[in-house]
């Protein structure tokens, strides 16, 4: 068995559970991917997964299912997904060892 592409922190898993409890019945988990854009070149995307797509990696960890877009796996290997809650904002945070650069606003990265 190969190492999973990303690891989930307990906070990230708890937040995904909360999101899924409010999701419509069609959602079977969350999907994580990357897209071109942002000041550093790439940004993370998350959406509800309605079904498993061909060649997706599925991570079942801490009671949640996370689907990894096959085009994103090479960018996400070794990443830890965390959830950070502050006084005025809350967000998922990706600690990605493959990043070589991150923009000042934290929204995009470069590999």
Residues 12 and 83: beta-carbon distance below 8 Å? yes
Q: Is residue 14 part of a domain?
A: yes
Residues 21 and 13: beta-carbon distance below 8 Å? no
87 backbone dihedrals φ, ψ, rounded to 5°: -60, -45
Q: Is residue 70 part of a domain?
A: yes
Residues 20 and 30: beta-carbon distance below 8 Å? yes
In this prediction, residues 33-49 reach a mean pLDDT of: 82
Residues 46 and 92: beta-carbon distance below 8 Å? yes
How far apart CA 7 and CA 55 sit, in angstroms, is 19
The CA distances from residue 54 to 22, 58, 67, 70, in Å, are 26, 11, 11, 8
Q: Is residue 98 part of a domain?
A: yes
H or E stretch covering 15:
helix 10-22
Q: Is residue 76 part of a domain?
A: yes
Question: Based on the structure, what is the number of domains in the chain?
Answer: 1
Q: Is residue 1 part of a domain?
A: no
Q: What is the pLDDT of residues 52-90, one digit of tens each?
A: 999 999 999 899 999 999 988 888 889 999 999 888 888
Q: Is residue 91 part of a domain?
A: yes
Residues 66 and 82: beta-carbon distance below 8 Å? no
Q: Is residue 18 part of a domain?
A: yes
Domain that holds residue 87: 6-110
Question: What CATH code is carried by the domain that includes residue 74?
Answer: 2.60.300.12
The pLDDT of residue 1? 40
pTM over 0.85: no
CA angle 54, 59, 63 (to 5 degrees): 130
């Amino acid at each position: 068995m190969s190492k999973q592409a990303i690891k989930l922190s307990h906070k990230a898993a708890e937040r995904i559970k909360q999101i899924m409890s409010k999701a419509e019945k069609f959602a079977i988990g969350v999907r994580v991917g990357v897209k071109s854009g942002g000041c550093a070149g790439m940004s993370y995307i998350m959406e509800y997964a309605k079904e498993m797509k061909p060649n997706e990696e599925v991570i079942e960890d801490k009671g949640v299912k996370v689907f990894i877009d096959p085009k994103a796996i090479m960018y996400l290997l070794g990443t830890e997904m965390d959830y950070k809650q502050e006084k005025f904002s809350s967000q998922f945070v990706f600690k990605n060892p493959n990043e070589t650069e991150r923009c000042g606003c934290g929204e995009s990265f470069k590999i």
